[in-house]
Amino acid sequence: MDEKQKKEEQKVLLVVAKTDNNQLKVVHKSSAKTGIMKSLLPSIENLEDFMKIEKHSNMLETFFTNFMHQCKNPTDFRFYHLPAALLDKLDILQDMLKSPEENKDFLAQYEVKPEDYIKPEQQVEQKTGTEPELPKEQPNSLENRIDWEQLARLGINRESLEQSGDLKAILSGNKSGLVAIDTQVEGIPISTQGRIYFQEGENGKLDLKIDCCRREPVLDLPFHGTLLSEEAQKNILANGNAGHPVNLSLKEGETTACLVSLDKLTNNLVAVPVNDILIPHEIKGVTLTPELQKQLTEGGKVLVEGMTSQWNTLFDGYIQYNAAKEKLDFTFDGLDRNRYKAQTQQQMADQKIFIPKKLLGAELTPEQQKKFREGGTIYVQGMKDKQGQPFNAYVKMNFDKAKPEFFKWNPDKTRSAAKEVTPTAEHKTQVAVNNGATDETTKNVKEPLKANAQQPVQTQAAKGEKKKVKSRKI
């Protein structure tokens, strides 16, 4: 299987949490092994950290098995999977989630249910509260070498680190996120926040390191024996990176060329030796010239054009190495984000776009789906408004907005007269009222109107009675 086909078959796992206002996010790739829920905003900057599911892989089984063991309230989460090529249409799915009951048929096509990926005996364990037998830790593992009593004296425990996902980070040799630190110095209580990590010390001992938060960066004092230049300070305040190598005394008597960046979580400076930085030969499908690689290694900010996103659309971006993150940063300031818009729209029109099997509750035939995908107009009967009342309408896909539009006339045949509306003419009042609109005849209506109704049954009956009274006048 070539790389392009592999990417097209990849899916991304999405999550909606009750505690997060039902905001649609992407599951972090680290959650597959840990089972600890960690999510990201679906932005290009986070692309490399998305959990991607490949065909025939057992990643979902692994994730949901671990997730059900770790999560206290698994029912607070709903999961969906989406082809990676359609991630730029995520706003459509987010809109559907605002009214899940009305769009349940559409959402069901993309929903992932944990119980479908957990073995029956594991489901029984989850229901009965029986803890599964976990693999034994290796005697010399990093976790067994941590001085948990030392962390406890700082108000940090294993459970809190595990719940936040920071345990996975520090066991991987990385820094934690911000954690609360509570301790005492000479009987005086001190509370602050910081990032913790471990380094190998002398005699095989594991040393705890703490980067405490600062209110603001301190750039006017020497950093590892070197006072940063005005240019470096200006660059750090502007984008977080010094922008060029800085000679620092990381070890006594030695000077090392380093890239310096600002850790925006703590406002501390972080340095990485230039010799330890590896720049890939290819980024997002674009081969970097030796000159561009050299500029990036030296901390420069370079423009890379025509990169290919995970959903196979083109984009441009500025790239710069961030020493605090130990990876490349992508920024887009001043760039034309619509440069490839026409090409992308045509690509999506030709290839993949959301074509539901049901539209507002009405089943679409294969012929209708095909015509809909090709940009044709279809006439759909039996759709339902927000009050559950049926209506009919002409429907056509708007590729610019990536969503369907509704017309009361066929827009392909009567373009001069067609106006974008929700229902056909005989259902117009019904759908408007049932979706919240009112006028003088309907402002006090509490029951939904039936199909073809222009006003409440009571009002119509009253008018009929009134006409009868008038007819009796002599």
Q: Could you list the residue range(s) of the whole structural domain that residue 330 is in? A: 282-339
Q: How far apart are CA 4 and CA 85, in angstroms?
A: 11
Statement to judge: residues 14 and 96 lie in one domain: yes
Reduced to 3 DSSP states, what percent helix, strand and coil does the chain have, rounded to the nearest 5? Answer: 35, 25, 40
Please provide the size of the chain in residues. 474
Q: Is residue 317 domain-resident?
A: yes
Give CA–CA dist 445/342, Å, rounded: 46
Please give the residue that has the higher pLDDT: either 216 or 355: 216
CA-closest candidate to residue 360, choices 98, 105, 111, 107: 105
464 and 402 co-located in one domain? yes
The answer as to whether 417 is a domain residue is yes
User: Residues 154, 195: one domain?
Assistant: yes
Same domain, yes or no, for 294 and 241? no
Percentage above 90 pLDDT, the chain:
25
Residues 249 and 159 in one domain: no
Q: Do 11 and 114 fall within a single domain?
A: yes
Whether residues 297 and 189 fall in one domain: no
410 domain residue, yes or no = yes
Better pLDDT: 247 or 129: 247
For the chain, what is the domain count? 5
Look at 9-18, 334-343, 441-450 and tell me which has the smallest mean pLDDT: 441-450
Work out the pLDDT band at 385, boundaries 50, 70, 90.
confident
| Distance in angstroms between the alpha carbons of the first and the last residue of the chain | 89
Verify that 272 and 297 share a domain, yes or no: no
| 347 domain residue, yes or no | no
Please say which residue of 74, 99, 128 terminates a domain: 128
The torsion region of residue 106 among left (phi > 0), alpha (psi -120 to 50) and beta comes to alpha
Task: Evaluate the CA torsion angle 29, 35, 36, 39 in order and state its sign.
Answer: positive
Residues 33, 102, single domain; the answer is yes
CA angle 376, 378, 382 (to 5 degrees): 160
* Residue 449: band (very low, low, confident or very high) from pLDDT cuts 50, 70, 90: low
Choice between 335 and 58, residue whose per-residue pLDDT is larger = 335
Q: What is the mean pLDDT of the chain?
A: 77
Q: Same domain, yes or no, for 16 and 86?
A: yes
Share of residues in the chain with pLDDT > 70 (%) = 71
251 and 323 assigned to the same domain? no
Q: Which two tokens stand for residue 295?
A: 């500029």
Q: Is residue 137 part of a domain?
A: no
Q: Which helix (H) or strand (E) holds 85?
A: none
Would you tell me the crossing angle of helices 59-70 and 120-128 to the nearest 10 degrees? 10
DSSP line for 349-362: HHS-----SEETTE
Task: Determine which helix (DSSP H) or strand (DSSP E) holds 19, and give its type and residue range.
Answer: none
Domain end (from 90, 105, 128): 128
372 in any annotated domain: yes
Q: Is 399 inside any structural domain?
A: yes
Q: Which of the residue ranges 15-29, 191-205, 245-259, 377-391 would you say has the lowest mean pLDDT?
A: 15-29
**Is there a contact between 390 and 384 (Cβ–Cβ < 8 Å)?**
yes
How many whole angstroms separate alpha carbon 7 and alpha carbon 84?
Answer: 7
- pLDDT grade for 215, boundaries at 50, 70 and 90: very high
Same domain? 160 vs 175: yes
The residue out of 128, 157, 192 marking a domain boundary is 128
pTM for this model (two decimals): 0.48
What letter represents residue 7's amino acid?
A: K
